[in-house]
Amino acid sequence: METVQNFINGQITESRSERFAPIYNPATGEQTRQVVLSSAAEVEQVVAVADAAFPAWAKTSPLKRARVMFKFKALLEQNMDKLARIISNEHGKVYSDAVGEVTRGLEVVEFACGIPHLQKGEHSANVGTGVDSHSLMQPLGVCVGVTPFNFPAMVPMWMFPISLATGNTFILKPSEKDPSLALELAKLLKEAGLPDGVFNVVNGDKEAVDVLLTEPRVQAVSFVGSTPIAEYIYSTASAHGKRCQALGGAKNHCILMPDADLEMAANAIMGAAFGAAGERCMALSVAVVVGDETGDKLIANLTDQIAKMHIGPGIVDGTENDMGPVISAVHKAKICDYITTGVEQGASLLIDGRNLVIEGHEEGYFVGPTLFDNVLPEMTIYKEEIFGPVLAIVRVPDYQTGLDLINRHEYGNGTAIFTRDGETARQFSEDVLAGMVGINVPIPVPMAFHSFGGWKRSVFGPLNVHGNDGVRFYTRMKTVTSRWPASVRLEQHTSAFTMPTM
Ligand code: NAD
């Protein structure tokens, strides 16, 4: 059985740990590899390596650091097919979706290529007579990324390109469910010219993460995953004096107005609810429909489209499937339990994905697209993140009731409105309590040069990932105030004891 190891100081490094976690191909249910679960002592060694590599990398000019990013971008493009296949085989998502994920990560690398401009700081001449001020945006030191299973390429690339480009060293702790891609990224960074020790991958579970959260040499922690863990990461890292951004779970609602282009909205909702088997933090899991007529029309359209969906393995010869399996047998069982609970609590189950069997892939972790109508806010399937291909339809009499519903939910990652009315859309984007808003756009994921992050219990910490927030997160500001008198010798100097006001 092949073992996925660590990448430390520029090379694949065999762990001495005797703890391992299995890795499966979700389309077949077969174990394909195992991943090492590093010990606390091993993680401390990785921190020491990243700490030792920091001074030289921090002093490397931003232009040279950007050139590594340019080469890394080219290598990502050259290796796209290989990377997408690794993702599809370990995660289960369909091949084109895996290509899409790498592409969204690559866009952050492109953004990081502009670091000489982004890290310039500010300058003011003559803040007082003959006195100038300028700010330096200096790197922090050892930064850490702890990432979820659902985007093994994109989420790490939300973090490390900007962290590295700004002059930090980085330790990535990928999800133990699909860790192989992280090692490929590490090898490509080395090939791009990144010095050894600047980027490291350490595999493991809570034992490894806890060292990274408490080790004094770690300066900053970026986390993406479920809300309970995000909250734990944020409170522990902060209590140990580290900067932390921790992105959590979601329950993204869209609101469908009666005047919307229904066909366009239904197509958008299909992709956003069932793409990647609903395992996206920006998946639409609740459709709030205004008016019964709108609800009936939407259901008719979705029912038709669901019947035509192709579900199967992520990589096939010929026509690609629309949806692959979910990540694990445990997760499949959890999703099916949610569906059962929805029925028990009185929601109308219109399409049931629980008993789907794919011929030739009987042991795969497949759950079919599932559609509930008449879902109420007190039901478990409304309140909790299911993270599977389950869409809940909530009927409301008017726009305001729908908006109030969205705003009362504990999560506030993304949301969307479908309407032809500009004023309603404008009002919605102003009043809705969520971090990312789509207007006739179902999954409003900001581009790399903007920042990604939710509101409420979907995020912990003030700065979002990538874009300008990312640059701010991975740098600290130092403001230098300087004075060069024309001739120090000629001036009369006296002591001043009041607050300088220039
Ligand atoms: P998870 O919280 O189970 O795991 C995320 C990471 O935390 C993994 O690397 C895991 O090893 C580590 N971890 C797990 N338990 C831990 C513990 N007790 N102590 C320390 N570390 C621990 O999440 P997941 O199942 O891999 O990913 C799915 C979740 O991620 C969903 O809730 C989804 O909404 C969320 N997500 C959010 C975003 C976002 O941008 N907000 C993006 C992607 C995924």
What is the tens place of the pLDDT at every residue in 133-175? 999 999 999 999 999 999 999 999 999 999 999 999 999 999 9
On average, the pLDDT of the chain sits at: 96
Q: How is residue 181 written in tokens?
A: 């891609």
Distance 229 CA to ligand 1 centre (A): 7
pLDDT tens track for 228-260: 999 999 999 999 999 999 999 999 999 999 999
| CA atoms of 405 and 276, how far apart (whole Å) | 26
The phi and psi torsions of 373 (rounded to 5 degrees) equal: -115, 165
Continuous H helices in 18-153: 40-59, 62-78, 80-91, 95-112, 115-118
Cα dihedral value 78, 84, 85, 91, nearest 10: 160
| Ligand 1 nearest atom to the CA of residue 177, by list position | 26
Residue 487 pLDDT exceeds 80 = no
Name the residue of 101, 205, 450 to mutate for ligand 1: max ligand atoms within 8 A of Cβ: 205
**Residue ranges, CATH 3.40.309.10, the chain:** 252-439
> Mapping DSSP to helix (H, G, I), strand (E, B) and coil, where does residue 13 land?
strand
Q: Burial level of 135, CB count in 10 A (0-12/13-18/19+)?
A: middle
**The pLDDT of residue 489:** 64
- Specify the CATH architecture of the domain 252-439: 3-Layer(aba) Sandwich (3.40)
Predicted ipTM? 0.99
Q: What is the pLDDT of residue 263?
A: 97
Q: pTM for the whole thing?
A: 0.96
CATH number for the domain running over 3-248+458-481: 3.40.605.10
Atom of ligand 1 nearest to the CA of 281: 34
Residues forming CATH 3.40.605.10 domain(s) in the chain = 3-248+458-481
Block residue for tokens 């065999």: 14
Contact 153/73 with Cβ under 8 angstroms? no
Residue 104, CB-side half-sphere exposure with 13 Å CA sphere: 21
Q: Where are the beta strands (DSSP E) in 261-398?
A: 284-290, 348-351, 370-373, 390-396
pLDDT digit string, tens, across residues 312-369: 999 998 899 999 999 999 999 999 999 999 999 999 999 999 999 999 999 999 999 9
Pocket test for ligand 1, best of 176, 224, 244, 413 (most atoms within 8 A of CB): 224
User: CB within 8 A of 447, min separation 6: which ones?
Assistant: 107
Written as one letter, the residue type at 86 is I
Average pLDDT of span 466-473: 98
- Name the β-bridge partners of 460: 246
DSSP state of 114: T
Q: How confident is the model at residue 490 (pLDDT cuts 50, 70, 90)?
A: low
Q: What is the dihedral of CA 297, 414, 178, 317, to 10 degrees?
A: 40
Ligand 1 centre to CA of 32 (Å) is: 22
Assess contact for 110 and 91: CB atoms under 8 A: no
Residue with tokens 């409105």: 417
pLDDT at 500: 79
Pocket of ligand 1 (CB under 6 A): 146-151, 155, 173, 175-176, 205-206, 209, 224-226, 229, 247-250, 281, 385, 387, 413, 454, 458
